[in-house]
Amino acid sequence: MSSHNNSTPGQRFRDAVASEQPLQVVGAINANHALLAKRAGFKAIYLSGGGVAAGSLGVPDLGITGLDDVLTDVRRITDVCDLPLLVDVDTGFGSSAFNVARTVKSMIKFGAAALHIEDQVGAKRCGHRPNKEIVSQQEMVDRIKAAVDARTDDSFVIMARTDALAVEGLESALERAAACIEAGADMVFPEAITELDMYKLFAARVKAPILANITEFGATPLYTVEQLKSADVSLVLYPLSAFRAMNKAAENVYTAIRRDGTQQNVIDTMQTRMELYDRIDYHTFEQKLDALFAAKK
């Protein structure tokens, strides 16, 4: 991590967006996955609100999670991985501008690079589920202004997510995106987009980086990086891909052990002990320990 002391997480996130077009941002459900994502070559990672709810708390993405739940996972990730981290803060974790401000300041303090805040009502739903409700455009703009004003670091990225497409239609979503940029947001995240060309319209309207959420089993087709590049998208998000695979793998292992009375039949689906040690740099830690004991003798 020492190699990045000269720049803030926010600046590293902005640099990544500028250098890779579009920038692939992959979800890391925990600190271990953050290391795996870095190893795979990604330049930025993501912490999903739905992922914190389902993964860390075992509850649905229905506004149950609190700020401290998310901060715990943020800190654990930023403690071991220097990739810039984009964090989902839902509606800001509270009803007032003071709540939004506290959320922003906390995210910066805990080492995040960027956040996205949305225009749903406090009792939010997953962006790809029916019956979403959104606040007025004015209230959304107020959330963005509160977030921007609260920044203790100007390079920290404030991204505005709008869920208006599914609720009020394309024109409303475009209008909200533009109003958020006007209010000081750095980037725009139009949620649950259904047609590739729509991204182009957002990019043209706001003249700021657009994020495409390419989540599986949702409202958005699984567009490729090439397709999204052609639609003027700047960031491509894969929020829960590894999490979904990890859960399926875990279920298969539990089922097999219970059914077969042994794990022998699923060993080939497991990361080995040596692979784990390698991924978490175990041997470097062990060598430090050995050196310490040697010095004591």
Given the residues 12, 30, 46, 176, select the one marked as catalytic: 46
Q: What is the pTM of this model?
A: 0.95
Given the residues 81, 151, 191, 238, select the one marked as catalytic: 191
78 marked ligand binding residue: no
Chain-centre distance for alpha carbon 14 = 15
Active site residue 283: no
Given the residues 73, 161, 163, 180, select the one marked as catalytic: 161
Cα–Cα distance for residue pair 29/171, rounded to 1 Å: 34
Query: Which pLDDT score is estimated for 125?
Result: 87
Given the residues 14, 32, 33, 90, select the one marked as catalytic: 90
Among 67, 66, 23, CA closest to 45: 23
- Contact, 194 vs 220, CB < 8 A? yes
Query: Which pLDDT score is estimated for 1?
Result: 40
Residue with token string 């699984």 = 222
Among 225, 215, 140, CA closest to 185: 140
214 marked ligand binding residue: yes
39 marked ligand binding residue: no
Active site residue 125: no
273 marked ligand binding residue: yes
The encoded tokens of residue 295 equal: 């010095």
Tell me how long the chain is: 297
261 marked ligand binding residue: no
Cα–Cα distance for residue pair 167/75, rounded to 1 Å: 34
Query: Which pLDDT score is estimated for 5?
Result: 56
Given the residues 12, 14, 33, 116, select the one marked as catalytic: 116
Grouping H, G, I as helix, E, B as strand and the rest as coil, residue 94 is: coil
- Contact, 180 vs 207, CB < 8 A? no
Query: Which pLDDT score is estimated for 192?
Result: 93
Given the residues 33, 61, 119, 186, select the one marked as catalytic: 61
Among 268, 293, 243, CA closest to 73: 243
48 marked ligand binding residue: yes
CATH architecture of 9-247: Alpha-Beta Barrel (3.20)
90 marked ligand binding residue: yes
Active site residue 126: yes
Please, which residues bridge with residue 210 across strands?
A: 188
Given the residues 32, 81, 126, 180, select the one marked as catalytic: 126
Neighbours of 294 (CB within 10 A): 8
Residue with token string 């430090």 = 288
Query: Which pLDDT score is estimated for 293?
Result: 87
- Contact, 140 vs 168, CB < 8 A? no
**Weakly modelled stretches of the chain, pLDDT under 50:** 1-3
Tell me phi and psi for residue 219, to 5 degrees: -80, -20
Contacts of 73 by beta carbon, 8 Å cutoff, 6+ apart: 30, 47, 52, 56
88 marked ligand binding residue: yes
Cis peptide before 22 (omega within 30 of 0): yes
93: left (phi over 0), alpha (psi -120 to 50) or beta: left
Cα–Cα distance for residue pair 295/184, rounded to 1 Å: 55
